[in-house]
Amino acid sequence: MASWDRKREFVALDLGTANVVAYLGGQGIIYNEPSTMAYDVHTNTVIASGESAYEMIGKTNDDIRMVVPLVDGVIADLDAAKDLIKIIFSRIKLSDILKNALVVLACPSGVTELERSALKQVVSDMGAKNVLVEEEVKLSAIGAGINIAIASGHLVVDIGGGTTDIAIISAGDIVISRSIKVAGNHFDEEIRKYIRAEYNVLIGIKTAEKIKIEIGALTKIDNGRTFRAFGRDVISGLPREVVISPDEVKNALLAPFSKITDLIVEVMENTPAELAGDIIRNGITICGGGALIRGIDTYFESIFQLKVTKAQDPLLTVIEGTKEYEKQAEKWLEVVEMRDSREYNIK
């Protein structure tokens, strides 16, 4: 049986489509940067990662290949995902402590068992003996303050960068879940499409993201604030400026959010009756970066007539959830040992 002692370390890694966050017990968050990498095309070596690579988006030449390892909640480039994990661990000098550490890897629900095993193997190859892989939506629920251990249904909507995961959680685990590839990156693309259709101006993906962050809303905003965006005129090919209002951004966001709403309805329709009663009492909890869009709680409340709660820090709910695993590390070490034993016996 595993035993936990003060000499052991706790490491948590949130592998998100948009950002990767690393947490080290006793120190806090030690890495929080975009999930972006730049490769030399000729040597296939990493020349930049994280924030420095993100700043290169849309500004590179043909000798540089930009890669995002996780796209739409699945691993699009497994080798890049492995490189990213290695870079993070080497940058924060974790390789020396991994042997005695409990490592929790948070992955999108769309990641397959094969991909989970591959990521787990990367961390194991770096010296970690105790690796636990968990779904982000489950950790988000814990990080949002929900006591998932009790037999009471909670509806969690985790709007990330690549996917929106919707789950009913009760008695310690996920009862029913659905995932849709409509989330932060998709919102950015819808804003780009809207501006191209309305103004014949093509803007970059980073500009669209800034528009979403600064004036994105699902309800009417009366502060009169606008956003001055620069792009390329599709007809003339020349640089051009356009001024975008919050109402225009709202119009661009309503279509993708209607798809999320439809999926929430589908989850509710497949929820057992007793748990459905719990949802009426507990309401809906929203987390992930998408929860930061203004008026999102009012939007969902008006549709479902339920209480909607936004997580206190939506971007970090996954990492906050892993801290509960740190508190019960001895228990989870035993879980890891049992899982590894089953896998070994199967093999």
pLDDT exceeds cutoff 90 at 81: no
Taking only the tens place, the pLDDT of each residue in 8-61 is 689 999 988 899 999 998 889 999 999 999 999 999 999 999 999 999 998 999
pLDDT for the residue numbered 9: 84
Residue span of the structural domain in which 87 resides:
10-139+316-345
Confirm whether residue 184 is marked as ligand binding: no
* Residue 209 in marked binding region: yes
Residue 5 lies in a domain: no
Q: Is 1 contained in some domain? A: no
Is residue 18 marked as binding? yes
Contacts for 244 with CB less than 8 Å, ≥ 6 apart: 195, 211, 215, 226, 227, 228, 229
Answer yes or no: is 112 within a domain. Answer: yes
The answer to whether 212 is a known ligand-binding residue is yes
On whether 101 is known to bind a ligand per the annotation, the reply is no
Give the highest mean pLDDT range of 3-7, 67-71, 183-187.
183-187
pLDDT band at 7 (very low <50, low <70, confident <90, very high): low
For residues 27 and 74, membership in a common domain is answered with yes
Which pLDDT band holds residue 342 (cuts at 50, 70, 90)?
Answer: low
Do the beta carbons of residue 107 and residue 135 sit within 8 Å?
A: yes
Residue 159 lies in a domain: yes
Residues 163 and 45 in one domain: no
39 lies in the same domain as 116: yes
Check if the beta carbon of residue 315 is closer than 8 Å to that of residue 289: yes
Is residue 332 included in any domain, yes or no? yes
Q: Which residues contact 328 (CB under 8 A, 6 or more apart)?
A: none
Residues 130, 271, single domain; the answer is no
Is position 210 annotated in a ligand binding site? Answer: yes
> Domain count of the chain?
3
User: Which two structure tokens, joined as six digits, stand for 208?
Assistant: 């669209």
Please give the residue that has the higher pLDDT: either 73 or 62: 62
pLDDT of 346 above 60: no
Amino acid 343: pLDDT: 54
Instruction: Give the distance, in angstroms, between the CA of residue 96 and the centroid of all CA atoms in the same chain.
Output: 28
Q: What is the CATH number of the domain that holds 151?
A: 3.30.420.40
Determine which of 128-137, 204-213, 285-294 has the lowest per-residue pLDDT on average. 128-137
Do residue 97 and residue 49 come from a single domain?
yes
The answer on 45 and 131 residing in a single domain is yes
Compute the residue count for the chain.
347
Residues 177, 194, single domain; the answer is: no
Mean pLDDT score of the chain: 89
What mean pLDDT is predicted for residues 312-325?
93
